[in-house]
Structure 1
Amino acid sequence: MQNFDYQTPTRLIFGKDVVEKLPEVMKPFGKKILLTYGGGSIKKIGLYDKVKDLLKDFEIYELSGIQPNPKYDPSVLDGVKMCKEHDVDVILSVGGGSVLDCSKAIAAGAKYDGDPWDLITEKVKAQSALPIVDIITLAATGSEYDCGGVISRTDTNDKIGYMDPLLFPAVSFLDPTYTFTVSKKQTAAGCADAMNHIMEQYFCEDSTLLNDGFMEAALKSLMVNARKCLDNPEDYNARAEMMLDCTYGCNGIYSLGNSGSSWPCHGMEHALSAYYDITHGIGLAIITPRWMRHILNEKTVGRFVKYGVNVFGIDANKDPMAIANEAIDATYKFFESIDIPMHLRDVGIDESRIDEMAKHVADNEGLEEAWAPLTQEDIAAIFRASL
C-alpha cells in the first residue's frame, strides 16, 4: 500500500431542493458574484431564474456560453477579465463539469498577473484563487469534488488537465432532479466518463482489497443506474446514485494508497477531443476497450481476471485469458447497449491525423510511465483499432 497525503475541503450539499440554501452559503464569500454557465439549459429547466431570485441581494455578473471541452479563448480569458474588472468575490458555476472546469481556471487566473495559460500548463504555481461554489446539473466528471480541470486551446490543439489544491470547490450543490432533463446521449456519455475515471485508477500495479471493492461496486452501480436513467429519466434514486458515483470519481477516494496509472485513456482521448471536439465520454468509451485489448498480456491478465469476475460475474474457473477477453467484450457491449457509437469514424474521425495525434499524446501525456507503458506506436495502434 502506497503512502498518501489526502484532504478534501469541499462541502457537499446533496438532495432535492438543497439549492434553497444558496443565499446563506454564498453570503460569507462576499457580494460580487461571477455566475458562469453554458448554452442555456439552466434557463430551460428554470434553474437560472431560481438562482437569480435567490441571489437578488447580490451583485451578479454573468459569463455564459461555456462549451463542452471548455475553451481557453474566449471563455477562460473573458472570465478572468470580468473578475478583475469587477473585483469579483466568488464564482458560482451552474451547469456540468465543463462549466466548473472553466470556472476553476478563471478562479486561478483572476488572482494572477500573467498569462493564465502559465497556470494551466503548470509553468507557474497559483498562489491564490477565488472561491468557487457550484450547482451541478450533469452527472459525469466529478469536478464538483476535486481540484482538477481540463481546458482546451484550439489554436494549438492542446487539451490540458491540471490540478491545484486551491481549486477545490468550497461548496457543491448536488440535486439529482436537475439531471432529469439531461439527454440520453449525455447521460450515457456521463456514465462512460465516470466508469473510465474509475478504471483508470483500478488498473494499476499496487491496490488494496478495500479500494478494489469500492471501485467494483461503483462500476456495477453506474451500469445498473445508467440503464435505469435511460429507461426512466425521472427515476430519482437512480439519478441520485449515479450522481454520487460520478462525484467520487476523481477526488482520490476510490484509490487511496494505490499506485498510479498515468490515466492513459484520458491522455489519448484528450487528443481526440482537442483535434476534433468530440464528446469526452464518448471518446473514452470508444478508446477504452481497444486500450484494454492492446495491453492484455501475461503481466496484466490478473487485473483483468479480477475485473471480469467481480464486475461482470464471469466464472472464475475459466482460463485467465478467456476471462480477460470476455471482460473486455462485456465492457464494449455495455457501452454499445446504451447507444454510444463505438467507432471513431462514427464521430467524424478518420485515419488522416492519427499519427499526428499519437505523436502529440506521446510527447505530452507521459504514457511511457503508465501501468502498461505506451509508446507512440502503441497509441497509434489503439487509435487505428478504434476506427
Structure 2
Amino acid sequence: MENFIFKSGTRIVFGKDAENTVGDHISKFSRKVLIHYGGEYLKEFGILDRVIQSLEKNDIEYTVLEGVVPNPRLSLVYEGIKICKEEDIDFVLAIGGGSAIDSSKAIALGAKYDGDVWDFYSGKAVPKMALKVGTVLTIPGSGSEMSESSIITNEEKNLKCGIDCELIVPEFSILNPEMCYTIPPYLMSCGIADILSHLFERYFTPTKSSILSDHLLEGAMKAVLEVGPRIKKEPKNYDNCSEIMWLATVSHNGMLDAGRISDWASHRIEHEISALYDITHGAGMAIVFPAWMKYVKEENMERFEQLATRVFGITDKKDKEELVDRGIACVEEFFKSLGLKTRLAEAGVPIDRFEEMALKAIGDSGYIGKFKQLTEDDIFEILKLAI
C-alpha cells in the first residue's frame, strides 16, 4: 500500500425530495448565491423552481447564470466570475451533472483571484482561496459532486484541462435519485461509461499490494455491469437510479484509490478528443479505454486476467492471452450494449489530428500514465487502435 491522506468533506443529502432542503444547507454558509446550470429540463421538470423556492424560504438572495454545456466552456466561467465579483456573491450552487459542477468550481476559484482563472488549469498558478460550492446533482457519472476535481474547456485554444484542489470540494451535494427520470437515455449511457472509466483508472495501478481496494473496485464494477442494463430497461425505477447515482459518487470521491496509484492516461487522451470534437466525455471514454487496454495489456497481464475472471466471470479460457483478450472484448460489448460507439470512425471523429492530440496530451511532462508510462508515440498508436 502507498502512503495516503483521505478526507471526505462533502455532506451527502440523499433521497426523495432532497432538493427541497437546499436552502437549509446553504443558509449555514451564505445569504447570496449564484445558481449555475444548463439544460431546459431543469425548468421543464420544475427542478429549478423547487430549488429557488427553498432559497426564498430561507431568505437567500440569488442570481442565475444558465448556459452550461457538455465540456464546460471557459467563456461562461469568465461570465460567472464577473457576476460573483460585481454582486459580491459568496457561494456557487451547481444544478446539473459534471459540466455544471466543474464550471461552478472554476467560477468559485476565479471569483477569489485577481488574475486569469485559466492560470490554475494550465498550471501557472496554485489556488489559495475559493468561494464555497454546493451541488444539486441531476446527471450521475462524473463524481464531481464529491471530488476535488474540475475540468474546463478553453474553446479558443482547443484545450481541455483539469485541476485537483481541496478548496473546491463541495460543502454539500443533494442527490435525489428521482432526478435520473429526466435524463435522456444517451446521456445516462454516457454517465454509466464515465463511472466505469473512473473505476478502471484506479484498478490499473502499479501498486503491488492493495487488496481491499481491489475488491472494492471489483465490487463497484460488477454493480455497474448489473445496474447499467437494468436502468436502460427501467429508467424510472427508483432503486436502479439510487444505485447508479451512489455508484457515480463513490467511484470518484477518493476512497477507492486510497493506498494505490491511479493511472489517468485514458482520461488525458479523451480530453484531447473532446476538446477538438466536443463529444460527451463518457462517450469518449467508451472509445479510448478498450484501445488503451489493448495497447498496455502486456505491461501486467495478471491484472487484466484478474479483471476477466473476477469481474466478468470468465473461467473457461486456459490460455492467458485469450482470457485477457476476452475480458477486453467484454468491456467493449458492455459499452455497445449501452448504445455507445467504441470506435472513433463510428463517432465521426477524423484521424488527421492524431499527432496534435498526442502532443497536447503529453504537455510538458514527457509522458502520461502510471500503469504504463505513455510517450507521444504510444498515444498515437492508441488513437490508431481506436479508429
TM-score (normalised: structure 1): 0.96
Query: What one-letter code is carried by the residue in structure 1 that aligns with 2:28?
Result: P
Q: What CA distance in whole angstroms lies between the structure 2 residues aligned with 1:376 and 1:26? A: 46
Q: Which amino acid aligns with 2:46?
A: G
Give the distance between the partners of 2:325 and 2:13, measured in 1 at CA. 41
Q: Which residue of 1 aligns with 2:215?
A: 213
Other structure's SS at 1:296 match? helix
Match of 2:84 in 1: 83
Greater CA deviation, 214-223 or 115-124? 115-124
CA distance in 2, matches of 1:80, 1:87: 10
**How far does residue 345 in structure 1 lie from its aligned partner after superposition?**
1.8
Q: 2:66 and 2:24 mapped to 1: Cα distance?
A: 24
Shift, 1:103, TM fit: 0.3
Letter in 1 for 2:334: F
Q: Is the contact between residue 80 and residue 110 of structure 1 (CA under 8 Å) also seen in structure 2?
A: yes
1:257 aligns with 2:259: yes
Q: CA RMSD for the aligned pairs?
A: 1.3
Equivalent pair of 2:261/2:370 in contact (CA under 8 Å):
no
Matched ranges for 1:340-379 at <5 A = 340-363=340-363, 367-379=367-379
Contact 2:358 2:379 in 1 (8 A): yes
Distance in 1 (alpha carbons) for counterparts of 2:260 and 2:271: 24
Q: Which amino acid aligns with 1:80?
A: I
2:3 counterpart of 1:3: yes
- Partner residue, 1:238: 240
8 Å contact from structure 1 (residues 267, 365) kept in 2? no
1:21 aligns with 2:21: yes
Aligned residues of 1:282 and 1:340 also touching (Cα < 8 A): yes
Which residue in 1 is equivalent to 2:281?
Answer: 280
- The letter of the residue matching 2:179 is Y
How many angstroms does 1:140 deviate by?
0.4
Which residue, 62, 67, 71 being the options, matches 1:65?
A: 67
TM-score by length of 2: 0.96
Equivalence for 1:111: 112
Letter in 2 for 1:344: L
Q: State the distance in 1 between where 2:280 and 2:375 align.
A: 25
Task: Report the equivalent of 2:191.
Answer: 190
Q: For residue 351 of structure 1, give the secondary structure of its aligned residue in structure 2.
A: coil
The runs of at least 4 consecutive aligned structure 1 residues that moved more than 3 Å come to: 364-369
Report if the CA contact (8 A) 1:181-1:233 is conserved: no
1:286-297 equivalences in 2 (<5 Å):
286-297=287-298
Distance change in 2, residues 1:366/1:7 (3 Å)? farther
Q: Which amino acid aligns with 1:11?
A: R
How far does residue 366 in structure 1 lie from its aligned partner after superposition?
5.6
Paired residue type of 2:308: G
> Cα distance 1:38–1:112, how it changes in 2: closer, same or farther (>3 A)?
same
DSSP 3-state at the match of 1:133 = strand
How far is the alpha carbon of 1:371 from its aligned partner?
A: 1.3
Render the CA deviation track for 1:95-145: whole Å, top value 9, x for unaligned. 111000000010011011111111222322211111111100011000001
What does the per-residue CA deviation read over 1:25-61, in whole Å, with 9 as the maximum and x for residues that have no partner?
1112221110000022211111011111111222110
Structure 1 unaligned segments of length 5 or more: list them.
none
Do residues 129 (structure 1) and 130 (structure 2) align?
Answer: yes
- Checking the alignment, whether the CA contact within 8 Å between 1:267 and 1:361 is kept in structure 2 is yes
CA distance in 2, matches of 1:14, 1:249: 16
2:38 matches 1:38:
yes
Structure 2 stretches of 5 or more lacking a match? none
- Given that 1:10 and 1:172 are in contact with CA atoms closer than 8 Å, whether structure 2 keeps it comes out as yes
Q: Is 2:109 the partner of 1:102?
A: no
Larger displacement relative to structure 2 (92-101 or 360-369): 360-369
Following superposition, the deviation at residue 365 of structure 1 comes to 6.6
Q: Aligned pair 1:382/2:382, yes or no?
A: yes
Distance 1:89 1:369, change over 3 A: closer
Seen in structure 2, the aligned counterparts of structure 1 residues 280 and 3 have a Cα distance that, compared at 3 Å, is: same
Partner SS, residue 313 of structure 1: coil
Distance 1:210 1:78 in 2: 44
* Aligned counterpart in structure 1 of residue 228 of structure 2, from 226, 229, 253: 226
Listed one character per residue, the Cα deviations across residues 220-268 of structure 1 (whole Å, up to 9, x for unaligned) are 111211111110111111111111111012221111101232x011010
Query: Contact (CA 8 Å) 1:191, 1:223: kept in 2 or not?
Result: no
CA positional deviation for 1:354: 1.3
Task: Note the C-alpha offset of 1:368.
Answer: 4.3
Kindly state the Cα deviation for residue 370 of structure 1 after the two structures are TM-superposed. 2.4
Task: Kindly indicate whether the alpha-carbon contact (under 8 Å) linking 2:38 and 2:69 is maintained by their aligned counterparts in 1.
Answer: yes
Separation of aligned partners in 1, 2:265 and 2:369: 10
Q: Deviations over 1:175-210 (max 9, x none)?
A: 000011211111111011110011001001114111
Change (3 A) 1:113 1:368: closer
CA distances 1:45-86 after superposition (whole Å, capped 9, x unpaired)? 11011111111222110110011100111x110000000000
Please state how far the C-alpha of 1:300 moved relative to its aligned partner: 1.1
1:336 matches 2:332? no
